[in-house]
Amino acid sequence: MSVIELTDATFDEQIAEQGEGITVVDFWAPWCGPCRMVGPVIEELAEENTDVRFGKLNVDDNQTMAQRYGVRSIPTIGFFKDGEAIGSVVGAYPKEALQDVIEQVKAGKAETA
């Protein structure tokens, strides 16, 4: 499954469109070195987790959504279940660690920061 490019204008529709299920959103910026490291990890996770929807939101171009979800540091990876924000992690997490968080979210046991 591919990663969807999200904007302030499309965010609510795209997240709600998922309906029941999990959406993972990468809040990033092009100038951010750690964000550039996380980008390919998000792409790989999207390919491997076909039951999860993945999106990316450039915080420089879409400040409204970044503010709404309290993004103060990037990269921030936000987790949404059934269209509702349930938590996030901040920093350049390795693939295995992000996969573990995704599994916790799927099991309803997520304790994200």
Catalytic residue among 35, 65, 66, 74: 35
Whole-number Å distance between alpha carbons of 67 and 27: 11
Based on the residue annotation, tell me whether 32 is a catalytic residue of this protein: yes
Based on the residue annotation, tell me whether 99 is a catalytic residue of this protein: no
Catalytic residue among 32, 45, 65, 101: 32
Look at residues 103, 78, 80, 105 and name the one whose alpha carbon lies nearest to residue 90: 78
Look at residues 85, 93, 89 and name the one whose alpha carbon lies nearest to residue 11: 85
Catalytic residues: 32, 35
